[in-house]
Structure 1
């Protein structure tokens, strides 16, 4: 795609030396001009939407709570459908997700899952090298020429399966500090999605494979409308038929749960489904109600999808999607097979089976896993309940969900072990993230930014509102200092120095402490941490 001659190719200034491997083949003059044109058209609108987020949060901090918008009642009650779902996306019963490193891309596309969601967001630490190499890896995968030889000599290459590629860019709230437009960082969302589309959209469209995307972290239909306009523009610039680029939106914020009809409507010519981003949703629930002392959640291990507020969210998503002709995707199974312990492994797999059985029987059209070893487990449950490509015919008219159902605070406790676990997970994940890894196995669970954010925000919430452990001990800043010091010492003693993030444990502990002790809950822990990435 040639650059528009009216826009100088150097309008997007890259602050990283050109020596980064592969940088020049991704950031060509035409590609930079493409990103710059989109940035100039949409940056002021993006910033206005982020300001609107802050205004809504200020109202919630002052005592309000989210609710369905009376001004959009006609959309919720109207008779309309989204555009037909392409045949290649009608059966999505098991999807695998993961970062965009080369080995992961190959293994995921060979996994047998219906879809691989290649993630520039929560499972990716956005170092400059990771972002550029990720674009190269996906380009090579689309071209069918991706290979990888590991340090141990093992060779990986595509086997010609039918797994469909979808890409998740970073959210609207993030910026790419290494790419400056008129002296300011460009939107990370536009940087990720536009570069992928520029290099791959025409090849994918020619094979009927999109391109297809997952859109993260939306809080309002106006943010979905912005994406719709951006995608319209990209299609026009790349000479793609209107509506070629299909999207699935993650409902992973509490405000978005009240906007599901409106989000589908804003993207109705190109949306194919919504997804229950359960871990981010729990984090968002804490963040949204951060000022409300009566809305403190129990420890994360007690907040499962059978909790009434999460069950209501999941079933409302199914009902909403199926009414509009869209797929309703279930949530992530974060377990990792435990090959060294058959008994523990079976217990973990039993949890996965129960979770996927619940999703399939509720009417979901598919689900997520984080590890290839979970694909057969999830697939068996959806095959049993879903003989056809999907369950769009399951209307769930029995589901009646109101505001109070989505806001119900689950019962539960905070144990000393749960408190310590939150500190350990947050410190270890953040240390690994600072070290360039965005997807980290900890205690046989795949932790990403979303799960770490639950741990971090719970620590803040419990301390800020003076919650008590189940033995009556009040959670205070002094308690955090003591326990976090013990946890850090244990990690430094017990983890091997080769453990991802080990050299940055002290730095991570300091960042976490500043967040936990802050007067106001920081929106995202990765925002202050991003300044420390290369």
Structure 2
């Protein structure tokens, strides 16, 4: 841990995170200077983009409905432009495993047999300082094949002796533009989590990845406008110039997981042209975005229980089919969504049912034209691969063979929320409460990916859970009761009663953080004004540098292996040795 009285500063760069074992590998002076360069160059524009998001949300609340932008019509109607050719390691992407960047998951992901790994610093990772730093250490070690892991019980995890070309291609997902990392200050300002995650990974690993026949590849989350893709493209150009790399070395797959981005898919690819690798159908965040953006627009935009919002719903079909069309029209890969089922080896019947669901989901995606998809567990890799092989027949992708020119861009289809079949139920409200609190307990204890009731939950599904409750209360929605099937209006008072009941049944144990989890979830789900994100106040209250500062603390380890001059317990503004 650290103390605010022992912050270490040099050249405007302040580290106030506690000492993490091995941090000298990644928190070097040179790397921090690179982060400072990115922050000073791109932070002002990032803030403007976040302000633009608020303006768009205000317009939607006032009645404006998103549409395909008129100012970019020429880009959409120009048939001549394409993104860069597929980069090394991104030609075959039928199955990508996803998960946080802890050491055990890193080893398991690289041994999973998947073709790619989405190494996640975002929704499935709790952004505690130790997780952030250790995640970077793990990525550095994994790329150099110097990683292993031993549990407290003595079980050892190590990389299989596979040739380089058979190791899953790594695509790192940095945090979204709205998240900060306040353990690292530049000129007194917290750096954006996105720049922190991208910058450290790129700085330490780009050259090594290139030498090993791959490259620095990324997933970009939660973009809401093509101007945000332009911002990332400028970041990429500046980063490559800084290290003397050829522009286009970086490649990025953009998650289309906001309703506004769904109207700008081709524009997003256009802005990233030389760096674009594809688009991904981030289904859970996409559903959250629809609820969030239209939460106060009445019953027309109210969805039923989460479990009933499937990929066959008309709005989800429109979204995924238009995504495949946009990608293949421009030479990019279309990557499908997450299979969240968790195999249950102790229950053969449940396990078979889960695997059948995954196979059917992946077969649907492959038939629709997707080139690959995500799974959350190594046991699902062969199931997904089999489904794609049934359709692709050994071909690497469907970019040229399944162009989906039969799909017509359809604004009304993307917004056809009311056609989603299903209903709101008491059981659905209880599930949202249960999952939301359980997930936040896991998040607070350091794990942003939580297996709950047979599904892998992350921040996106927790966001759906709390935002649905908020919207149902605000809209005065009716829910079907479990005992007698009658309908009851969803009110704050009733939800509070259900929270009490659900909470009383949670399995308590030493070290759980259910009390804090309940407080955070309820504050978000029952707030008078809708909080934009659940994890932002959770970070500020529980994981930030200020919230964790103890009253007395030893000075942090020297940065990059260099002892801070003039820094000791009780001193402020010490310098890092040059």
TM-score, scaled relative to structure 1:
0.96
Q: CA deviation at 1:9?
A: 5.1
Is residue 525 of structure 2 the alignment partner of residue 516 of structure 1? yes
SS in 2 for 1:48: helix
Matches of 1:390 and 1:276 in 2, distance apart?
16
Between the aligned partners of 1:144 and 1:450, the Cα distance in structure 2 is 31
Map of 2:442 onto structure 1: 432
Q: Deviations over 1:197-226 (max 9, x none)?
A: 111111111222111111111000100010
Corresponding residue number in structure 2 for 1:167: 172
Moved more, 467-476 or 98-107: 467-476
8 Å Cα contact 1:10-1:29 kept in structure 2: no
Contact 1:11 1:32 in 2 (8 A): no
Residue number among 205, 212, 218 corresponding to 2:223 in the alignment = 218
User: 1:526 maps to which residue?
Assistant: 535
Give, in whole Å, the separation in 2 of the partners of 1:24 and 1:349. Answer: 43
Q: Return the offset for 1:496.
A: 5.0
Gaps of 5+ in 1: 1-7
Q: How does 1:265-344 map to 2 (within 5 A)?
A: 265-294=270-299, 295-344=301-350
Distance 1:260 1:42 in 2: 23
1:468-498 CA-to-partner distances (Å, cap 9, x unmatched) read: 112310000100110000111110xxx2515
1:312-346 CA deviation, whole Å, 9 max, x = no partner? Answer: 00000001100000010000000000111111111
Q: 1:198 aligns with which of 199, 203, 211?
A: 203
Of 498, 501, 519, the match for 1:486: 501
- What is the root-mean-square deviation of aligned Cα atoms in Å? 1.2
The separation in 2 between residues aligned to 1:162 and 1:438, in whole angstroms, is 25
The answer as to whether partners of 2:88 and 2:215 remain within 8 angstroms in 1 is no
Q: Is the 8 A contact 1:9 1:29 kept in 2?
A: no
Distance 2:211 2:75 in 1: 34
Moved over 6 A (4+): none
In structure 2, C-alpha distance between the alignment counterparts of 1:204 and 1:11, rounded to whole Å: 30
Q: CA deviation at 1:508?
A: 1.2
Task: Tell me the SS of whatever aligns to 1:331.
Answer: strand
Q: CA deviation at 1:25?
A: 2.7
Report the Cα distance in structure 1 between the residues aligned to 2:195 and 2:477, rounded to whole angstroms: 41
Q: Please give the per-residue CA displacement for 1:88-109, whole angstroms capped at 9, x wherever unaligned.
A: 2111000000000001001100
- Report if aligned partners of 1:10, 1:32 keep a CA contact under 8 Å in 2: no
Does 1:404 find its partner at 2:412? Answer: yes
> Could you tell me which residue of structure 1 aligns to residue 396 of structure 2?
389
Matched, 1:419 2:429: yes
Give yes or no for contact 1:248–1:273 (8 Å, CA) kept in 2. yes
Cα shift readout 1:168-188 (whole Å, capped 9, x = no counterpart):
100111110111111111111
Asked which structure has the greater RCO (Cα within 8 Å, sep 6+), the reply is: 2
**In 1, distance between residues paired with 2:309 and 2:204?**
41
Aligned residues: 520
Rg: which structure is higher?
2
Q: Aligned match of 2:382 in 372, 376, 379?
A: 376
Q: CA deviation at 1:113?
A: 0.3
Superimposed CA distance per residue, residues 126-185 of structure 1 (whole angstroms, 9 cap, x where no aligned partner): 000011110000000111111111112111111124211111100111110111111111
- 1:473 counterpart SS class: strand
Q: Secondary structure at the match of 1:298?
A: coil
More off after superposition, 199-208 vs 414-423: 199-208
Q: Pick the aligned partner of 1:504 from 496, 513, 521.
A: 513
> Cα deviations across residues 478-521 of structure 1 (Å, max 9, x unaligned)?
00110000111110xxx2515xxx62111111111111222222
Ranges in structure 2 where 5+ consecutive residues have no aligned partner: 1-8, 481-485, 549-578
Residues 435 and 504 in structure 1, CA contact (< 8 A), matched pair in contact too: yes
SS at 1:418 equivalent: helix
